[in-house]
Amino acid sequence: MCFNKIIMEQIDIQLTAVQIRKSVVELITKSKDGHIPSAQSMVEILLVLYHNILNIDPKNPTDENRDRFILSKGHGCASLYSILANLGFFPKDELEKYATINGILGGHPEMQKVPGIEVSTGSLGHGFPMGVGMAMSAKLNNQKHKVYCVVGDGECNEGTIWEAANISAHFKLDNLVVIVDHNKQQASGDVFEIMNPHLLSEKWKSFGWETIELDGHNIESLHKAFTSLPFKSGKPSAIIANTIKGKGISFMENERRWHTAIPNEEEFKLAMAELDEQEKQLTKIKGGSKK
């Protein structure tokens, strides 16, 4: 398979990230359903993967040699939908129909409906363990593709995450990558107060994973990590990505109530104004760098 993807420059990813964040706010405000901050914290992770790393073809989304991507924290799907639509996995007008009876895009992603979605997630602790089966399959078939899973730090409360982590390391699944979106917040508040995960990097390491920790909004760090996979032959790779929940919208960042809150008209305008300003600045920088 050969997908002529356009390798995105850092500034383009930054700019696209803002546009994706605007789309997330629009989608969820309009439909009054969804999780804005969970979608915002992983935008750079998704963009670097989808534009620069994953071997995928929107025109042939079930090619057997494609890389598999699983959003195990399915509730953050709004940003993934925007990225998939931009890449042409499905028509952009599906975004307009998000969370409606006639649309294919729901509050959690479904593989039977949405091209580019590998497994249906939403129930936490299910996506990554299904990805383990997909990585086992690639090993059995002697295929070279990788399986990437984004899991939430709150999701790491689930026991099934650790069963799957154990199984992956035991079977030496070095074609499997977990990115923990460590945004430090879960539904009721601070992850360290709700159910202390302690040091997530140490935890994954002790389960037999080769683990690194990085800034999940730093495009260069993400790119460097993704191009060094597997970190160690014979071991699955874990990336603890430190992120900010609600990134990009100051009043939503790290604010518990925004986990499921829907902006009112004024809040929507404020959020969009902040993102517009960021877009303006980045466009200026981009223009300057071209000169």
Partner 1 sequence: MRKAFVEAISEILDTNEKALLLIGDIGAYLLKDVTAKHPNRVINMGIAEAGMMSAAVGLALEGWIPFVYTITPFVTARAYDQIRAGVGYHEANVKIVGVGSGLSYSALGGTHHSIEDIAIMRSIPGMTIISPSDGPETIEATKSIAKHVGPTYLRLMLNVPLLEVKKRKPFKIGNAEKLSKGKDITIIATGELVREALEVKDMLVKDKISTSVINMSTIKPIDRKTIENVMDESPIIFTLEEHNIIGGLGSAVAEVISESKLKSKPRLVRLGIQDKFTNKYGHKNELYEYLNLDAKSLYKRVKKEIKNG
For CA atoms 71, 128, 50, 213, give the dihedral sign.
positive
* Per-residue interface string for the shown chain with partner 1, residues 105-124, x marking contact by CB under 8 A: ------xx-----xxx-xx-
Q: Which is nearer to partner 1, 72 or 242 (CB)?
A: 72
Inter-CA distances, 134 with 55, 69, 170, 173, 251, Å: 16, 10, 15, 10, 39
Out of 6, 7, 93, 159, which residue is the one contacting partner 1 (CB under 8 A)? 159
Q: Which residue in 46, 71, 114, 134 binds partner 1 (CB under 8 A)?
A: 134
Contact 120, 114 (CB under 8 A): no
Determine contact, residues 255/40, Cβ cutoff 8 Å.
Answer: no
Tell me if 170 contacts partner 1 by CB under 8 A.
yes
Determine if 270 is a binding residue for partner 1 (CB under 8 A): no
Which range touches partner 1 (CB under 8 A), out of 37-45, 76-84, 134-142, 254-262? 134-142
Task: Give the whole-angstrom CA distance, residue 82 versus residue 19.
Answer: 9
Alpha-carbon distances, residue 291 vs 203, 278, 279, 282, 288 (angstroms): 47, 20, 18, 14, 5
| Residue among 160 and 254 whose Cβ is closer to partner 1 | 160
**Residue 178 in the binding site for partner 1 (CB under 8 A):** no
* Closest listed residue to residue 71, CA positions, set 149, 155, 177: 149
187 with 124: CB under 8 angstroms? no
135 part of the interface to partner 1, by CB under 8 A: yes
**Burial (0-12, 13-18, 19+ Cβ within 10 Å), 269:** exposed
Instruction: Report if residue 280 touches partner 1, rule: CB under 8 A.
Output: no
Q: Does 136 sit near partner 1 (CB under 8 A)?
A: yes
Q: Report the C-alpha gap between 125 and 170 in whole angstroms.
A: 19
Cβ 111 to partner 1, closest distance in Å?
A: 7
- The identity of residue 285, as a single letter, is I
Site residues for partner 1, 15-74, by CB under 8 A, read: none
Can residue 145 be called a binding residue for partner 1 (CB under 8 A)?
no
> What's the min distance (Å) between Cβ of 11 and partner 1?
37
131 contacts partner 1 (rule: CB under 8 A): yes
45 DSSP assignment: H
- Tokens read off for 33: 């359903």
163 binds partner 1 (CB under 8 A): yes
Among 59, 91, 92, 137, binds partner 1 (CB under 8 A): 137
**Least distance from C-beta 180 to partner 1, angstroms?**
18
CB 124 within 8 A of CB 112: no
Pair of tokens at residue 181: 């979106």
CA distance 56 to 49: 10
Binding status of residue 132 toward partner 1 by CB under 8 A: yes
How far apart are CB 70 and partner 1 at their closest, in Å? 9
Q: Should residue 130 be labelled a site residue for partner 1 when binding is judged by CB under 8 A? A: yes
Q: How far is the CB of 280 from partner 1 (least distance, A)?
A: 43
Point out which residues bind partner 1 (CB under 8 A). Answer: 111-112, 118-120, 122-123, 126, 129-138, 140-141, 159-160, 163-164, 166-167, 170
